[in-house]
A and B are shown apart, each in its own frame.
Chain A
Amino acid sequence: MKHEKPNETVSRASGIQLRNVFKTYGGDKSVAAIEDINLVLPEGQFTAILGPSGCGKSTLLNLIAGLEEATAGEVSVFGKPVTAPGPERAVVFQEATLFPWLNIFENIVFSARLKHLPIDQFKDLADELITAVGLEGFKLHMPDQLSGGMRQRVGIARALLMRPQVLLMDEPFGALDAQTRLQMQQLLTDVWERYKKTVVFITHDIDEAIFLADVIYVMSARPGRMVTELRVPLPRPRSVSMLTSDVFNKLRVKVFESISLLPH
């Protein structure tokens, strides 16, 4: 199954697939990060992976991104087995990790610069994305001049400039204060409405997972296993007012239940 599938239509429908994926760190005193993960994430779905710290959810994301290699099992994205990072899979990191020596615009178009594309091939998209994430007027600022929330907006725009099929987000709002985090969640859900990418969103914040996702997977701690799959019946477009709705609260109860079932 290591070869590429020639049939595009069949493979596209499959989205992201993980089959019997294991990841173990270290040699002799090996630590199992994740164990026997099986997932099928259809194209266009916003998936949240919810779990406590150290449950291997970031590992899971890195495997899909191709930044780490699975010890066993198979990871494929749109039918292609993942062996290395690829332009169809963009990552938004926990810290925005912008290059401090480049201004905001140059950070956003970094991937295009690597491909030596002429500027007219990405300038319009860059400007559109800068507007979409609310960074007009900050193009020539340097990353160290921006707040954490604004830096993460740049991180999102930078990822979307790659025109990826899949957007992988590793607790991107984890380091932000509560208010900024809410703003960013609203912004992300708006941006998602517009670009409808397949998203995998890693978080330990229950409300965040419910507010953003179509489907939530709850993971257990060490070694990380999938415990529950929850569908989020909230209508789209989402807005902050839904955070207090009955549907939202019922989902929270369900998540709490699934977490209290976890072995410690």
Chain B
Amino acid sequence: MGGQMTDLAQNVAGELTALPPARRDLKRSRKNPIVVRISKLQPLIVPMAILLLWELVVRMGLIPPGLLSSPSGIAKGLSVWAFGPAGNGMNAYSGTLLSNMLNSGERVFEGFLVAIVVGVPTGLMIGYNKSFAKTFDPFIQSMRPVPITAWMPVSLTLFGISGLSAISLISLGAFYPIVINSAMGARDINKQFVRAARMMGASPRQLMMRVIVPNALPAIFVGLRLGIGVAWTAVVIAEMVAVKSGLGYVLWDAYYIGRMEIVLGDMVAIGLLGFLSDCLIVAIERRVLHWKQYNSR
């Protein structure tokens, strides 16, 4: 898991330090406009082909009915789930998509917030203060290999069937990448920056707030992006077991009663929320780290 985590961290870091957009535009503008239009569509070729094939396979009856819905069936199921009349006895899910999305979204938000509030300062202190690191880092590192799924019984015992047990799992899951990356960001400080700040009269507190923190922000955002991914994973697992609402609960419930179009539609909804929350973090990052765009190193 440790290896995976660092690979993932590098991938995300790679994404973040990719070519600045301005340069990419420059390259593209030199090309033929028709080529540009085709290359814009290129990413859609594979998903479209799969959807088309899938639709055909289901319609031709190559898969026994009820085992897998067709894309059009999923779309229909999603639209009833989203916009259908609530309280429809024939379809228990009708009209409940938004409330389930909000349930899950709220849990992710709350759990993620706890992970940030605890994880960022803890990580910064671990990276900044050797004695703090000696005290807390070995403990955190020894807890980290225990997957959050294994924590499920403990959190159920502590918090029962409630939103709280879901939130605790989400914050625990998101905590690790956030704390590790924050620590890395604080540790990875140019010593000359520290010297320059001390030379200009910075107190230890000012050194932290005005040098260590801004310097660590790029790494912290890497942690946040990894953390939000873990948070969505955690909310689905937790809701399957520990709560009676939310997208994870519906996913498992619909599977049990054989409503595959809801299961697959649910996956679409989770993916969409995960994507949007990542976009939000990236948008905030672009604003906060505007100075990064000039950094060509």
- Identify which of B199, B202, B296 gathers the most chain A CB atoms within 10 Å of its CB: B199
The answer to whether B294 and A67 touch across the interface, beta carbons within 8 angstroms, is: no
The answer to whether A97 and B214 touch across the interface, beta carbons within 8 angstroms, is: no
Q: How far is the CA of A100 from the CA of B190 in the complex (A)?
A: 11
Q: How far is the CA of A239 from the CA of B192 in the complex (A)?
A: 32
A90's contact among B195, B197, B199, B289, by CB below 8 Å, is which? B199
Nearest B residue (CB) for A68: B195
> Closest CB-CB distance, A201 to chain B, in whole Å?
16
Pick the interface stretch among A108-116, A125-133, A219-227, A246-254.
Answer: A108-116
Q: How far is the CA of A87 from the CA of B195 in the complex (A)?
A: 13
The answer to whether B195 and A100 touch across the interface, beta carbons within 8 angstroms, is: no
Nearest B residue (CB) for A89: B199
8 A Cβ contacts from A18-50 to B: none
The answer to whether B199 and A67 touch across the interface, beta carbons within 8 angstroms, is: yes
Q: How far is the CA of A184 from the CA of B195 in the complex (A)?
A: 23
Set of chain A residues within 8 Å of B198, measured between Cβ atoms: 67, 85
The answer to whether A97 and B200 touch across the interface, beta carbons within 8 angstroms, is: no
- Identify which of A86, A89, A95, A144 gathers the most chain B CB atoms within 10 Å of its CB: A144
> Closest CB-CB distance, B220 to chain A, in whole Å?
13
Q: Is A65's beta carbon under 8 Å from chain B?
A: yes
Nearest A residue (CB) for B296: A144
Q: How far is the CA of A122 from the CA of B295 in the complex (A)?
A: 29
The answer to whether B295 and A162 touch across the interface, beta carbons within 8 angstroms, is: no
Main secondary structure of the interface of B (DSSP, over half): helix
Set of chain B residues within 8 Å of A114, measured between Cβ atoms: 200-203, 206, 210
Tally B residues with Cβ within 8 Å of A.
23
> Closest CB-CB distance, A160 to chain B, in whole Å?
12
The answer to whether A97 and B201 touch across the interface, beta carbons within 8 angstroms, is: no
Nearest B residue (CB) for A155: B196
Q: How far is the CA of A65 from the CA of B197 in the complex (A)?
A: 13
Q: How far is the CA of A97 from the CA of B200 in the complex (A)?
A: 12
B294's contact among A89, A95, A111, A144, by CB below 8 Å, is which? A144
Q: Is B211's beta carbon under 8 Å from chain A?
A: yes
23 contacts between A and B (CB under 8 A): A65-B199, A67-B198, A85-B198, A85-B201, A86-B201, A87-B201, A89-B199, A90-B199, A91-B199, A93-B192, A95-B192, A97-B192, A97-B193, A97-B196, A99-B193, A99-B214, A100-B295, A101-B214, A102-B291, A110-B210, A114-B200, A145-B294, A162-B201
The 6 closest A-B CB pairs, nearest first, are A144-B294, A111-B200, A97-B192, A101-B214, A97-B196, A91-B199
Known: A89-B199, A111-B201, A114-B202. 19 other contacts (CB 8 A): A85-B201, A90-B199, A93-B192, A93-B196, A97-B190, A99-B193, A99-B196, A99-B214, A100-B291, A100-B294, A100-B295, A101-B289, A110-B197, A110-B210, A114-B210, A142-B291, A143-B294, A144-B295, A162-B201
